[in-house]
Structure 1
C-alpha cells in the first residue's frame, strides 16, 4: 500500500504542478501531494531502518533429536565451523532415528550451544526473536515486507550421558580408527574374555542360582560396557589430537 501511495502522490504532484494554472488551488494541492510523497518516503525509511509498525516477538520450541552417526550404538552430535574465526558453526543431527542428517541454518544471527542433561533423550530447544508487524494494518501498509525478520536465534542442544559432541573432522578420524576396534588382536580378545569371566564369576558368587540365560545376558551387558569404554577412550584421544 505504501508503494501505491508513493506512486500516486508522485503522479498527482506532477500533474497538479504541470497541468494546473497558477492559483491557490494548485498551490494547496501541490503542497498536499508533496506532503504525501515525503510522508511515504519517511515511512518507508523508518520501517526499514527502525522497524516502524513492528514489534519484537520471541518464540520457543523444543524437539527430540537423534544421533548423526549411522551406528545405533554411537550417539554423536556434530558441528562444523563457519569461516576461519570459529565463532559460528552449524550443528548436524537427525530429526528421526532412521531419517537423513540435517543441520542448523548457517547464519551469523543464529547461535548454537551444547549442554549436558540428566534426561534420557537428546533435545534441541530453539529460542527465536524476530520482528513482526503490530497489526494487519501495518502489515498491509508495508506489503508484509520484513515480516518475521530474524533478530537472533539460539539453538540449545541438551545431550544425555553417552552422547558425544564432535567436529566433522573428529568424526571422520573416529570412523577410520573405530574399524580397529571391530577387529581386535588375539591378545586383546584374550584380555577382554578374561575380564568378562572375572565379572561373571563375581556375579555368580553373589547369585549362585543364576541361570544360563542370565549369564549370557550378563556377558552381553559386560561386553557392551567394555566396547563403550573403548570408544569413549578413543574419542577422548581424538578430541585431544584434533
Structure 2
C-alpha cells in the first residue's frame, strides 16, 4: 500500500506544481503533498531499517533430549564451538529415546546467512535430573493490521529477530564432550573391551560404586518403593558412568 501511496503523492505533487495556476494554492497544496511524500518515504525507510510498525514477539518451545550415544549409561552431549569465544555451538544429541542415530543441531545455514547470524545454540549444566532443550524464538510481527497493510510489501512479518536454543543437561549424570573427546572415549572403551581382565575390573569397580550409592539411598529412604529403588539405581549407574568418563578424559 505504501508504494501506491507514494506514487499517488508523487504524481499529485508533480501535477500541482505543473498545472495549478493560482500561486497560493499551488504553493500550499504542493508543499503539503511534498511533505506527505517525504513522510511516506521516511516511513518506508524506517520500516526496512528499524522495523517501524512492528514489534518483537517471542515464543518458547521445550522438549526432552536424549543421549548422543547408547554405549554408556551416562548421557552424552557432543559439542563443537563455533568461533573461538562465542557461546555458540554445534550440538549432537538424540531427539527421542529410541532414535537410531543422533541429530546435529546448530549448523549455520549458509543458504540463509542473514537468518543464521541471528541464531545461537548453546548448553548449560544444571542440577535437574532430566535433559531438556529450550528454544526461544523472537520474531518481528506487525503491531496491527494498519501497519501490515501499509508496509507489508517485503514479507517482513514473521522475520526472525533472534532464536536461541539452550540444551540443559544434568551435571552428574551427563557428560559434555567434544567430537575429538568422543572419539578418544570410544577408542578407550574398545581397548578395554579387548582386554577381558581390564573390562572385568572396570565392571566390578562400577558395580561396587553403584551398590554403595543405592545402599546410601535406601538407608536415607527406608520406605522407598521398588520402582523408586529402580530409579535410584538407574541414576546411580549414570552418575558412576559419567564420573568414570570424566576421569578418563582428564588423564
TM-score (norm 1): 0.69
Equivalent residue number for residue 173 of structure 1:
184
Alignment match of 2:128 (pick from 118, 123, 133) = 118
Q: CA deviation at 1:124?
A: 0.9
CA distance in 2, matches of 1:172, 1:193: 21
C-alpha contact (below 8 Å) 2:57/2:140 kept by paired residues: yes
CA distance in 2, matches of 1:195, 1:35: 83
C-alpha contact (below 8 Å) 1:115/1:156 kept by paired residues: no
Equivalent residue number for residue 44 of structure 2:
44
Q: CA deviation at 1:58?
A: 2.8
C-alpha contact (below 8 Å) 1:128/1:150 kept by paired residues: yes
CA distance in 1, matches of 2:135, 2:89: 15
Q: How does 1:146-225 map to 2 (within 5 A)?
A: 146-160=156-170, 161-183=172-194, 185-189=195-199, 191=201, 225=237
Equivalent residue number for residue 63 of structure 1:
63
Equivalent residue number for residue 136 of structure 1:
145
Which has the greater radius of gyration? 1
Equivalent residue number for residue 103 of structure 2:
101
1:6 aligns with 2:6: yes
Q: CA deviation at 1:63?
A: 1.0
What residue ranges of structure 2 are gaps of 5+ in the alignment? 109-115, 210-232
1:76 aligns with 2:86: no
Equivalent residue number for residue 35 of structure 1:
35
CA distance in 2, matches of 1:151, 1:235: 38
CA distance in 2, matches of 1:68, 1:138: 46
Equivalent residue number for residue 212 of structure 1:
none
C-alpha contact (below 8 Å) 1:6/1:41 kept by paired residues: yes
Superposition RMSD on alpha carbons, in Å? 3.7
What residue ranges of structure 1 are gaps of 5+ in the alignment? 200-220
The superposition leaves residues 194-221 of structure 1 with CA deviations (integer Å, 9 ceiling, x where unpaired) of: 769999xxxxxxxxxxxxxxxxxxxxx9
Identify if the C-alpha distance between structure 1 residues 198 and 58 changes in structure 2 by more than 3 Å, giving closer, same or farther. closer
Q: CA deviation at 1:21?
A: 4.9
